[in-house]
Amino acid sequence: MKKIDEYVRSIDNFPQEGIIFRDVTSVLQDADGLHLAIDLMQNSIQDLDFDVIVGPESRGFIFGVPIAYNLHKPFVPVRKKGKLPCDTIEREYQLEYGTAIIEMHRDAILPGQKVVIVDDLIATGGTTEAIIQLIEEVGGEVVGICFLMELEGLKGREKLKGYRVESVIRYEGN
C-alpha cells in the first residue's frame, strides 16, 4: 500500500501562479487512500477522551462522520450561514479575499462536553478558530483538532495555540 501523501495530487500554479494546490479529491477517489486517511486521522486522536466530533462543511463532514461512526460518537455539523434549520449561533471569520459566516445549532453541544474538531486541511486557521469560538460559546471544551493536511507556511497552527493540533500530512510551503 502507498503512503498517504502519495494519494494527494499536487497541482502547480493553482489557483494562482506560485501556489501548489494539494487536492484532497484524489484521496477520496481511491478506496485505499480514503481508508488510509480515515484510519490515520482516527489513530491521531485515539488517546483523547471526548464526547463529540465537530466538522465544518463540507470536507469536515467527509472525514468527521466516518471517524464519529467508528468511535460511536455523535457528529455536529458546522455550516455556512442559512443552512441549518434550528436556533443557531454564528461567527464571522476572515477569508483571503473577504469574510464568511459559519453557524452551528445552539443546542448541538452541551456545556462541559469534550469536543474534537475534524477537517481536511489547515491553512491560515481562520475557519477552525471560528469553530472553536462557537464551541466555547455554548460551554464545550475543545480537547483536540485533527486535519488530514497542514500547509505549515501559512502558520495556521499559531491561531490554535493552546489546543492540541494533529495533522497527518505536513507540507512546508503554502
- Report the Cα 39 to chain-centroid distance in Å: 15
pTM attached to this predicted model = 0.96
Whether residue 114 contacts residue 144, with contact meaning beta carbons closer than 8 Å, is answered with: no
Q: Which secondary-structure segment (H or E) carries 99?
A: strand 98-105
CA distance 172 to 153: 6
Which residues have a catalytic role annotated?
59, 96
- Reported as a single tens digit per residue, the pLDDT across 27-71 is 999 999 999 999 999 999 999 999 999 999 999 999 999 999 999
- Reported as a single tens digit per residue, the pLDDT across 62-101 is 999 999 999 999 999 999 999 999 999 999 998 777 899 9
- Reported as a single tens digit per residue, the pLDDT across 2-28 is 999 999 999 999 888 888 899 999 999
Q: How far is CA 19 from CA 10, 13, 37, 59, 114, in A?
A: 10, 5, 24, 21, 36
